[in-house]
Every structure is written in C-alpha cells, then in structure tokens.
Amino acid sequence: MSVPTAERAVSHQPKSKSVPSGLIDPAMLWRSVPDALRKLDPRTLWRNPVMFIVELGAVWSTVLAIVEPTWFGWLIVGWLWLTVVFANLAEAVAEGRGKAQAESLRKTKADTMARRLTESGAEESVPAPQLKLGDIVVVEAGQVIPGDGDVVEGIASVDESAITGESAPVIRESGGDRSAVTGGTTVLSDRIVVKITQKPGESFIDRMIALVEGANRQKTPNEIALNILLAALTIIFVFAVATLQPLAIYSKANNPGVPDSLSLTANGVSGIVMVALLVCLIPTTIGALLSAIGIAGMDRLVQRNVLAMSGRAVEAAGDVNTLLLDKTGTITLGNRQASAFVPLSGISAAQLADAAQLSSLADETPEGRSIVVFAKQHHGLRARTPGELAHAHWIEFSATTRMSGVDLDGHKLRKGAASAVAEWVRSEGGSVPDELGSIVDGISGAGGTPLVVGQVAGDGGTAEVLGVIHLKDVVKQGMRDRFDEMRKMGIRTVMITGDNPLTAKAIADEAGVDDFLAEATPEDKLALIKKEQAGGRLVAMTGDGTNDAPALAQADVGVAMNTGTSAAKEAGNMVDLDSDPTKLIEIVEIGKQLLITRGALTTFSIANDIAKYFAIIPAMFVALFPGLDLLNIMRLHSPQSAILSAVIFNAIVIVALIPLALKGVRYTPSSASKLLSRNLYLYGLGGIVAPFIGIKLIDLVVQLLPGMS
C-alpha cells in the first residue's frame, strides 16, 4: 500500500482550529453555560446515574429549605445545584470544542448545487442534499464536489483542505484505489464524473459533524461498566447515609443536653445535611467527568484528522495487543533508493556510475531519480538532463522488457531486472559472468533490490555486464524507537508486505518489528487477524484498497485511508483524513491515554470520597461522641462549616479537573504494573490529601458566614 509523496508528506500535527487540548477558553466556557443548564433536564441527566441522584437531592433540599429556611440550608442548596451545573459544564465544554469545526463543515455543505446526469445523458441542476445513492454527477475545475462518491471517469486535482486542513492538492482518478472523493472538497483542474455512494444525510461530512458535536456518541463497554460500578457505589452510600439519621436521633435521645445546632437533628436541616453528606461521599467527581473524558478522547483524534465512527473504536485502540503495519509507506519511505553501485571485476566504479546515471536520466520514477542523485553525490558526476542529449534515443521501461535505457552515438546502455539484462546481453552476443549471480543473490538476501546495468560499447562492440545497482527500502527515521515503545506497552508489531521472505526479514530486522508476513495476500491478512483474535488479542490495522476491506472489517481497530476506496472506508471504524499509515501508532497512544485518564480520575475520585468521609463524619458527631475528636485532625470550626466546606470543595474540584479531563493524563509507554503504581501514588495519594487541605482552607472562610457558629 504505497502512498503518493505529496500525500505522505502531510504533517502529523493537529490541524483543527479548536482550542488546544487541556486549555479552557473563557469565551467557550461562557458559551457552554446555556448548554449546561439545558442538561439539567431529568430526561437528559438520567443517563448519568450519579449526577441524577445529585439533582434529585438538590430538588429535595430546595423544598426543605423553602419549608424551613436558614442561611446554612440555602447555602447548601446553592452549592448542590452548582455541583450539577459544573458536572454538566464539563460535558458541555467537551462538546463545545467541536462546534466551531462543525460549523465550518456545514458551510462547505450548504448551498452546493450538483450537475446530475439524467438517463438521456443531459445535465440537470439539483441541490446537493437531494442526491441519492447511485446518482451520476459531473464536476469541473472550480466546482465543489456535491457528495461522497467514486470517480468513474476522468482525472483531476482536488483540494481537500476543507476536510483535512491540508493545503496540498491530491490526485483523484477513475479505477484503482485513488478513486474516492469526499463531498465538500473542490476540484482544482480538469473534469471528473462521480458516482454518488452515500445516502441522503449519511455523507462523510454529516457523520463528521455528528461526531465533533457529540450527537452520535455512544457509551463504550468500559464506560458502561464504570457507570454501573458508580451507580452501585451510589446505592451503597444512599443506604449508609440513610442510617445516620436514626443513629443521630437515637444518640440525641441519649444525650439530651446536646444542642440541636451541634447534633444536626432538627427536621429541616437534618434532611439537607443528609443530602449534602451523600453528595460528598458518592463518586461525583468521576461521575461528572466521565462523559467529558470520552468526548475529549474522540476530540483528540479529530484534532489529528482521524474520524472515529464510534467511541468503542477509540477505546479498543487503547486495548490493542497486535498492530498490523504495512511496510510500504508506513515502516519504509515507500520508494526504494539507490544505496550502492557494485561493479564487476575489471569495471571501475566511475564507469558503472556514469552508465547508471545515463540510463536513468529519463526514468522519472523515484528509484530512477535516486540513482541519478546517488551518482552525483557519491561519485562526483555532474547533474545531466535528457534535454542536453537531444540526439539520444531513450528506452522507456515496460513490464514486458523489464528494462529501460538509452542509445547514444551507437553506445547502448540498459538497466533493469537481472534476468532481463542478462538475456539482453546474450542476445547482443555477449556473455554473463558467474560473478553476477553471487552479487545479485547477496543483495536480494540482504533485503535489497538488484538492478543490473549492461552496455554495448559503440557500433560492433561487445555486449557486457558492468555491475549492479543496489536499491533498498529506506526505513523511516525513528521507527525502531517507536516499535520499542510499542513493545514496552505490551503491543506486538507485525509488518505486512508483498516482498519475498528474505527481503521482508531484512526490513523487519532493521525496523525492529516483532514479526512479519511476507508475500501477503488479502486472504493471508484476514487469516492472520482471525488467528490473533482467536488467541484473545485485539488487532489494529490500516488499509486503503478494496482488497483491504475484509481485513479492515475484521480488525478491532480498522483505520481506512481517506484517499482509499469507498469500500475500505465503509469497512473500517476509523478514517484517517491525512491518509498517513503511521497515524495508527498515534491512534493507539490516544486510546491508551483515554483509558489511563479514566483510570486516574476514577482513582482520584474514590480516594477523594474516602478522605471526605473521614474529614466530615468526626466533625458532625463529635458533640454526640466526644471520642471522635481524635479523628477530627483538621479541627474544622463547626459541624455546619464542615458540611458546607465539603460541599463547596466537592463542586470546585469538578471544575478544577475539567482541563485534565480534556487534555488527558500524560502518557508514557511503560508496563501495566508501573502505570498502576503511578496512578496509585499520584492520583490515589493526591485524592486523599487534596480534600484535607482544600476543605480546611474553605472552612477558614466559611466560618465567617452567618449561621456557622
């Protein structure tokens, strides 16, 4: 799967104009407030069980505060509602980060007219949204492609910057794997005929708009499981807190001398206190941020120009065990390059270099250009052009002859496959030395590609073999380091190539992959994926052709190139708008960052709740049970200030963690045990310490308010 140079050179950096990850634009925060308030609707909030319980508690507390109003009661009610709003704000901000991009995408779709061909061949003008599956449209230079489809006639240069953000145009032509076009892109030159492959409302842009706005985001299996766990913990705490009221009444009965203000058993205040305590003890922090973490994970993919068809795919990327990577364009640069000239005995290196350069001047392939450059840089030959040799007769490469070359002043030069050049030398009356076979076999065994150079020196001269050009696939810089990182994460990398096993092994050893599949066919790829999955492993792979579609559909994470066929894009669960096969490694890292962020904030939240439990309960019941004073290490001012301080801290910490939820916890490749230890030390210990410090500081301020005696 080779990638054209212009497309392969696309930057890996995000092209989205959204706010950088982790930063909250105050203007965006303000714009998200109405959305956060709209999410207070119970029909929306019930999908988040933890925050739904908080909202029910806030409603009940509001009623109690109306029945028996107090400063303390109304302060608690206000912060309970702020807790729900802050939780909704986290999700609203995460969704709002994609709205600017969605708006620009809508503009590319709006008001586009299509030139649809009728059955008689005549053209009719129709709005783009009215196009149906199978319609044929004509698009010429300067016009916007009205819908997703395949080029069935013609070739054109297309500007895809409206979708990918990349200004470099790409070539789209009928037939092959570069025929797919996307609605909203612009034809820069020539004329193409496109067959629409989308249904109304299901275009690539429609799906991308729904993605960046979060409209079609479905909860992933891990997210659902965590929601169930949080709901279970919430129910447990509901029963635990419910037992405190009868306990307080019983204790008050046995301690009649304790004032109500200290025992917190007055009817109205007691109900509000129970709700406040419940909200502080249930996992509200992770419950508030869980949805935002998932949306932000998909947003990070969008910033890298990757369209995920579902959150499940992003999550699966974080759990991937096996990476199937195409050699060409992913591990190697995609073009073989000259690395050495190996002359035969009796032939000088300068003579071979001169012949190799001359025979390659008219060869416009990357391999041919690399030979010319290598001869200039390593043998001091000046750059020559075919124009300087106007009287020369150039022999273009053909699949039949498997050779190219030049006839110049009776001097014949040929360059090509070893067997083809050897046969040509013999046909010209020359002989092929045994030495050639050993050189060719040595280069092939090392993973290179040998091109043999032969000549006939002048009219009536003897045909002879001059030597061999060593072409090799150049492994991309830094690939070995990246594969080492994958190995640290427990991910097995497999290189897929159509090369012979010897060549494949040489490239695999140089790149540092764990395994390789040589002479791979579509059936071989599919069989390998099924074999890996049968062993309980999750598999990720990239592809762009129709023949890749079965494997992309079978893989747990199938990343289709945007330049590929419609079949490939439909089969995969992600589409890379940059068509950069190496993006798969970044996708895996983003998926792992998503899982690590969720785990880190869950650890922090649960540790937070435990700390708040030990901070609040002693302050609440120290009047009834003086022995609890030993546990009141923060020395909070009063039971009322303890409760209010905890509720305020509980709300503020949600806002404080929104940037971390959006940016994600910094990911460094390491083993699962090291990641667990890091989470426990940093977020577990931090979750225990933070409430003690935060609640104490808030208490110093709260105790100055009326009703906090």
354 labeled part of a ligand binding site: no
Q: Which residues contact 107 (CB under 8 A, 6 or more apart)?
A: none
415 labeled part of a ligand binding site: yes
Residues 73, 80: contact at Cβ < 8 Å? Answer: no
With a cut of 90, say whether residue 506 has pLDDT above it: no
* 356/405 Cα distance (integer angstroms): 9
Q: Which residues contact 26 (CB under 8 A, 6 or more apart)?
A: none
Q: Which residues contact 198 (CB under 8 A, 6 or more apart)?
A: 131, 133, 147, 148, 149, 183, 204
The sign of the dihedral angle between the CA atoms of 60, 61, 63, 67 is positive
Q: What is the pLDDT of residue 12?
A: 34
549 labeled part of a ligand binding site: no
Average pLDDT estimate for 434-446: 84
Q: What is the pLDDT of residue 537?
A: 87
Q: What is the pLDDT of residue 255?
A: 56
* 57/303 Cα distance (integer angstroms): 38
Average pLDDT estimate for 497-522: 83
* 112/75 Cα distance (integer angstroms): 54
Residues 115, 532: contact at Cβ < 8 Å? Answer: no
Assign 265 a pLDDT band (cuts: 50, 70, 90): very low
Collapsing DSSP states into helix, strand and coil, what is residue 40? coil
Mind listing the pLDDT tens digit for each residue in 45-71?
A: 888 888 889 999 999 999 988 988 888
Residues 281, 287: contact at Cβ < 8 Å? Answer: no
Q: What is the pLDDT of residue 219?
A: 62
**Longest alpha-carbon distance in the chain:** 126
* 10/6 Cα distance (integer angstroms): 7
With a cut of 90, say whether residue 472 has pLDDT above it: no
With a cut of 50, say whether residue 3 has pLDDT above it: no
Residues identified as active-site: 326
Average pLDDT estimate for 514-535: 87
Lowest mean pLDDT across 217-221, 346-350, 390-394: 217-221
Assign 214 a pLDDT band (cuts: 50, 70, 90): low
Ordered DSSP codes for 460-493: TPPEEEEEEEEEEEEEPTTHHHHHHHHHHTT-EE
404 labeled part of a ligand binding site: yes
Ordered DSSP codes for 626-691: GGGGGG-TT--S-HHHHHHHHHHHHHHHHHHHHHHHHH--------HHHHHHHIIIIIIHHHHHHH
Question: What DSSP character marks residue 72?
Answer: H
Average pLDDT estimate for 345-374: 84
Please, what is the average pLDDT of the chain? 78
Mind listing the pLDDT tens digit for each residue in 599-639?
A: 888 888 888 888 787 777 776 666 666 777 777 777 777 77
208 labeled part of a ligand binding site: no
401 labeled part of a ligand binding site: yes
Collapsing DSSP states into helix, strand and coil, what is residue 160? coil
Name the pTM for this structure: 0.64
Closest CA to 448 of 325, 285, 606, 336: 336
One-letter amino acid for residue 342 of the chain: V
367 labeled part of a ligand binding site: yes
Cα torsion 284, 285, 287, 288 to 10°: value is 100
Higher pLDDT among residues 206 and 680, named by residue: 680
With a cut of 50, say whether residue 245 has pLDDT above it: yes
Residues 436, 452: contact at Cβ < 8 Å? Answer: yes
Q: What is the pLDDT of residue 213?
A: 54
How many C-beta neighbours within 10 Å does residue 673 have? 8
With a cut of 90, say whether residue 237 has pLDDT above it: no
248 labeled part of a ligand binding site: no
Collapsing DSSP states into helix, strand and coil, what is residue 105? helix
Average pLDDT estimate for 568-572: 80
* 450/463 Cα distance (integer angstroms): 20
Q: What is the pLDDT of residue 137?
A: 92
Q: What is the pLDDT of residue 218?
A: 54
Assign 10 a pLDDT band (cuts: 50, 70, 90): very low
399 labeled part of a ligand binding site: yes
Higher pLDDT among residues 468 and 261, named by residue: 468
Q: What is the pLDDT of residue 17?
A: 38
Share of the chain residues as helix, strand and coil, in percent rounded to the nearest 5: 55, 15, 30
* 313/610 Cα distance (integer angstroms): 34
The sign of the dihedral angle between the CA atoms of 411, 412, 413, 418 is negative
Convert 450-481 to b/e letters by CB count within 10 Å (16 or more is b). Answer: bbbbbbbeeeeeebbbbbbbbbbbbbbeebee
The domains located in the chain, with CATH, are 26-96+216-300+591-703 (no CATH), 132-199 (2.70.150.10), 320-331+476-577 (3.40.50.1000), 336-474 (3.40.1110.10)
Ordered DSSP codes for 202-244: -SHHHHHHHHHTTTT----HHHHHHHHHHHHHHHHHHHHHHTH
Residues 495, 517: contact at Cβ < 8 Å? Answer: yes
Q: What percent of the chain has pLDDT over 70?
A: 80
Lowest mean pLDDT across 352-361, 387-396, 682-691: 387-396
Mind listing the pLDDT tens digit for each residue in 14-26?
A: 343 333 444 456 6
Closest CA to 91 of 597, 651, 654: 654
Assign 239 a pLDDT band (cuts: 50, 70, 90): confident
Assign 409 a pLDDT band (cuts: 50, 70, 90): confident
Q: What is the pLDDT of residue 269?
A: 45
With a cut of 60, say whether residue 110 has pLDDT above it: no
With a cut of 90, say whether residue 272 has pLDDT above it: no
Residues 201, 221: contact at Cβ < 8 Å? Answer: no
